Amino acid sequence: MIRKRIKDTPRQKPGGFEVRGASGPRSSIAQETREYGGKPDLSLSSLTSGLAQNRLPPQLSKAEEAKRKKSRAWVREMVFVMITALAISALVRAVLIQTFYIPSASMENTLMVDDAILVTKMAPKLSPLNRGDTVVFKDRENWLGEDPGAKKPQGFAATGLGAKIAEAMVFLGLRPETSDSHLVKRVIGTGGDRVRCCTVDGRLEINGKAVDEMYLHPSATRASVVDFDVTVPPDHLWVLGDNRNNSGDSRSHMADPSEGFIPLDDVVGRAFLAVWPLDRVGMLSNSCAFYGVPDPVAKTETPAQPSAKK
């Protein structure tokens, strides 16, 4: 018993005292001898305050605290700006302008495969479409699936996760539409037009006037290898590709339920600017080939003859 009591009593060491218990050292009380005349303060409040002071982080200066607040404010501001920019981009894509990739060679040499174009959605809702306009429309009858020159998504964009990410980026306006469900063609006839091919010298004829299509691919020796004579229904379009020998357009679908005509409701908009690649940036203006084409002749109904009175 005497040895145990002696073992549990504090032992003085140089520079301070060490408190021991039954289980060994508990804490070191430094410099207590100087503050209390050689006797350490072993009260509970003194021990706990010392431990708390050792655990508290160092106090920041006012300059450092202001710097941290400024940094946090900058991060919040950047997040707000990014969210706002994405919202504006999605709104612009949904209402005003959308970007598309060219999926096939049907519009060469006006538009090449993988060219990126801007399409205004103001037409035909707020401004009418005209002959010669380059338009993007929904591929409801799978014309693109029958086009041997059409380019399909490849690599990561073709996988399930990649396709979802690509769709999200397209929705936010961060990536052009891949056009795997849209087509790009040139408007040849609008509602009421009679479009015929071909004349004796191989040109298109619209409402009785032959047109010179200077934009045709060099391989085209005539306006079409397929002869046709159609009248475009109201609120519909007759469309052809500039690469007439390699284009699945209205001519190829005259036997379909749509007879090759595109409803205006399926038109996404009018292409007005090529934006990629940089060496092909330029405006996509209406072709002057259709200047002077007369308006369609309105069909007049024969008035009914009055019946003879009996």
The tokens describing 35, both together, are: 């503050």
Q: Do the beta carbons of residue 180 and residue 153 sit within 8 Å?
A: yes
pTM assigned to the model: 0.66
Separation CA 10–CA 306 (nearest Å) = 133
Q: Is the pLDDT of residue 296 over 60?
A: yes
Q: Do the beta carbons of residue 96 and residue 233 sit within 8 Å?
A: no
CA 195 to chain centre: 36
Q: Give tens-digit pLDDT for 158-196.
A: 456 666 666 666 555 555 565 568 899 999 999 999 999
Separation CA 277–CA 280 (nearest Å) = 6
Residue found under tokens 């009380």: 29
DSSP 167-180: HHHHHTTSS-B--T
What pLDDT is attached to residue 297?
80
What pLDDT is attached to residue 9?
47
Q: Is the pLDDT of residue 104 over 50?
A: yes
Q: Which residues contact 42 (CB under 8 A, 6 or more apart)?
A: 10, 19, 29
Q: Which residue has the higher pLDDT, 277 or 28?
A: 277
Q: Which residue has the higher pLDDT, 231 or 92?
A: 231
Q: What angle do CA 162, 166, 167 make, to 5 degrees?
A: 120
**Residues 112-120: what's their mean pLDDT?**
92
